[in-house]
């Protein structure tokens, strides 16, 4: 064990688990440089964060320039950086979501949006979330998270009135008929819950990830000819005057090949959450909504010392500018196709986007853009593939309740060659 790791064990809390016993001394583009003198190809991008790679020079410069002029004032005064960013978000967010509250992380965005929903719907004390959802680790967000019960163990009782219903994974079945039946079944079970257990008039909000993240990189039905689950939720919420919250903390900011995953479904939420990929690795989160709803929250009804700090906001503005200027989403879509077609050619039936009589048993690929799941038979296989890749200098992360999934979430600017190297290493490991 290196001296650095010994000091890590000596002084840091072990509560934050680490995927690798690797000490990074530098990170640039798609690579992390280890204390061991090796260069690692990073297929994790800091858990779907570094959209334009580690330490993009223009993002670094924007951070330095802002730090030199003003690092922090908090809400003592107004400042242009968060105003400029909120204006930009209004342009790229779906529908008429025009006003943003900034915070520091995904979990804070979740917590803030729940307070917001409570404020907008006084007296409605129930919330609907989904099994397999991950919304973060703060005390509030943990109550909405259900991707692994281990995340909740020891912390009960959490917030009350949160009901986790089923999230349909159409990629678990292969034929179109089975997929349609599955969605129908989940819709019936969902509606039945409101006839039996919880009256819809007591529900403030439904919170859903348009594409589940930690739960296994599962797009909601609505793509590839399946019934639109998000539209079903939208219609249900409209009927009962319930707020619809999309948690796009992981799926947002071009990760799926559009600004937000909901753009693939053509469904607009009432409140949308962002964080992770928003600001090039600087801590920043936010929730946005329509002006008339946001103005229901008067000054002082929510707050944050650091939320939307000028340095993070300038990093975010530069990042969004690069994504647009360099047509980064074209690369996301091309690299995504590269992954699907590579595995389909090596392992016929691996591409689960198209229904089939049977999909490949060894490996299945699902997802959108560069938020892709490689689904293996079991966790043991995943651990072997990850270990092989690590030996070859490629960093891969798992996800999913049962640990049988590798998620590919490289930076959105990853080159064809670098991505291919990772794919070859994975195919080698499977072989
Ligand atoms: C969908 C989603 N929501 C919320 C969070 C929590 O974000 P953070 O870790 O920044 O608190 C995550 C983190 O993985 C996430 O994927």
Q: Quickly tell me which residue has 């798992």 as its tokens.
A: 398
Q: Report how far ligand 1's centroid is from the alpha carbon of 337 (Å).
A: 26
Which atom of ligand 1 is least distant from the CA of 106? Answer: 7
Which atom of ligand 1 is least distant from the CA of 273? Answer: 3
Contact between residue 54 and residue 29 where contact means Cβ atoms under 8 Å apart: yes
Mutate to test the pocket of ligand 1, among 102, 114, 136, 255 (most ligand atoms within 8 A of CB): 136
| Confidence class for position 279, pLDDT limits 50, 70, 90 | very high
Tell me: pLDDT of 427 over 90. Answer: yes
Query: Tokens representing 390?
Result: 């690590």
End-to-end CA distance of the chain: 31
Quick one: three-class SS letters along 378-392? CHHHHHHHHHHHHHC
The mean per-residue pLDDT over the stretch 128-136 comes to 98
Q: What is the dihedral of CA 194, 195, 199, 205, to 10 degrees?
A: 20
| Confidence class for position 403, pLDDT limits 50, 70, 90 | very high
Which atom of ligand 1 is least distant from the CA of 250? Answer: 16
Which protein residues are within 6 Å of ligand 1, measured from CB? 105-107, 110, 134-136, 209, 213-214, 247, 249-250, 275
Tell me: pLDDT of 237 over 90. Answer: yes
Mean per-residue pLDDT over the chain, rounded: 97
CATH architecture of the domain covering 58-325: 3-Layer(aba) Sandwich (3.40)
Tell me: pLDDT of 224 over 90. Answer: no
The mean per-residue pLDDT over the stretch 148-161 comes to 95
Q: Report how far ligand 1's centroid is from the alpha carbon of 358 (Å).
A: 33
Q: Quick one: which of 278, 325, 249 has its CA closest to 82?
A: 278
pLDDT of residue 365: 98
Q: Return d(Cα 158, Cα 145) in angstroms, integer.
A: 11
The packing angle between helices 379-391 and 416-430, to 10°, is: 130
The DSSP secondary-structure symbol of 351 reads B
Residue 71: cis peptide before it, omega within 30 degrees of 0: no
Flag whether the pTM goes above 0.85.
Answer: yes
pLDDT of residue 253: 98
The mean per-residue pLDDT over the stretch 56-78 comes to 97
The mean per-residue pLDDT over the stretch 10-17 comes to 95
Query: Would you kindly state where each structural domain of the chain is located, as residue ranges?
Result: 3-55+327-430, 58-325
Alpha helices in 261-391 (DSSP H): 291-294, 310-325, 328-346, 379-391
The mean per-residue pLDDT over the stretch 226-246 comes to 98
Tell me: pLDDT of 176 over 90. Answer: yes
The string of pLDDT tens digits covering residues 312-337 is 999 999 999 999 999 999 999 999 99
The packing angle between helices 328-346 and 416-430, to 10°, is: 30
pLDDT of residue 225: 87
pLDDT of residue 373: 98
Going 36 to 38 to 42 to 43, the CA torsion angle's sign is negative
Question: In terms of pLDDT, which residue wins out, 1 or 119?
Answer: 119
Contact between residue 418 and residue 30 where contact means Cβ atoms under 8 Å apart: yes
May I ask the CATH class of domain 3-55+327-430? alpha beta
Q: Report how far ligand 1's centroid is from the alpha carbon of 357 (Å).
A: 35
The DSSP secondary-structure symbol of 29 reads B
Pairing between strand 271-274 and 285-289? Answer: antiparallel
Q: Report how far ligand 1's centroid is from the alpha carbon of 211 (Å).
A: 13
Nearest residue CA, atom 16 of ligand 1? 250
The mean per-residue pLDDT over the stretch 353-362 comes to 92
């Amino acid at each position: 064990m290196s001296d650095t790791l010994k000091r890590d064990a000596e002084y840091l809390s072990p509560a934050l688990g680490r995927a690798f016993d690797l000490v990074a001394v530098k990170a640039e583009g798609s690579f992390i440089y280890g204390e061991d003198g090796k260069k690692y190809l990073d297929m994790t991008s800091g858990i779907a964060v570094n959209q334009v790679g580690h330490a993009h020079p223009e993002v670094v410069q924007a951070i330095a320039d802002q730090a030199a002029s003003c690092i922090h004032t908090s809400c003592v005064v107004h400042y242009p950086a968060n105003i400029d960013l909120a204006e930009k978000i209004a342009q790229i967010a779906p529908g008429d979501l025009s006003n943003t509250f900034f915070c520091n992380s995904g979990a804070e965005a979740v917590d803030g949006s729940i307070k917001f929903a409570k404020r907008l719907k006084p007296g409605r004390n129930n919330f609907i979330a989904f099994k397999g959802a991950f919304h973060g680790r703060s005390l509030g967000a943990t109550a909405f998270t259900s991707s692994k019960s281990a995340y909740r163990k020891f912390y009960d009782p959490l917030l009350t009135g949160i009901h986790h219903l089923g999230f349909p994974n159409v990629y678990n079945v292969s034929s179109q008929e089975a997929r349609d039946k599955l969605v129908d079944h989940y819709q019936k079970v969902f509606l039945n819950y409101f006839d039996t257990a919880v009256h819809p008039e007591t529900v403030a909000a439904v919170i859903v990830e348009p594409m589940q993240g930690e739960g296994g990189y599962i797009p909601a039905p609505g793509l590839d000819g399946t019934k639109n689950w998000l539209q079903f939720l939208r219609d249900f919420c409209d009927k009962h005057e319930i707020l619809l919250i999309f948690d796009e903390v992981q799926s947002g900011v071009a990760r799926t090949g559009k600004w937000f995953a909901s753009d693939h479904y053509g469904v607009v939420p009432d409140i949308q959450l962002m964080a992770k990929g928003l600001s090039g690795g600087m801590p920043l989160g936010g929730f946005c909504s329509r002006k008339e709803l946001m103005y229901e929250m008067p000054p002082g009804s929510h707050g944050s010392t650091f939320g939307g700090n000028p340095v993070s906001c300038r990093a975010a503005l530069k990042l969004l500018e690069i994504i647009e200027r360099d047509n980064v989403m074209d690369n996301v879509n091309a690299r995504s196709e590269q992954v699907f077609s590579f595995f389909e050619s090596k392992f016929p039936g691996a591409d689960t986007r198209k229904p089939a009589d049977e999909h490949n048993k060894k490996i299945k690929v699902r997802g959108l853009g560069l938020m892709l799941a490689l689904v293996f038979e079991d966790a043991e296989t995943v651990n072997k593939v990850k270990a092989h890749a690590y030996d070859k200098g490629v960093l891969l992360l798992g996800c999913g309740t049962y640990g049988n999934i590798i998620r590919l979430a490289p930076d959105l600017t990853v080159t064809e060659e670098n991505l291919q190297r990772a794919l070859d290493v994975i195919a080698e490991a499977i072989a």
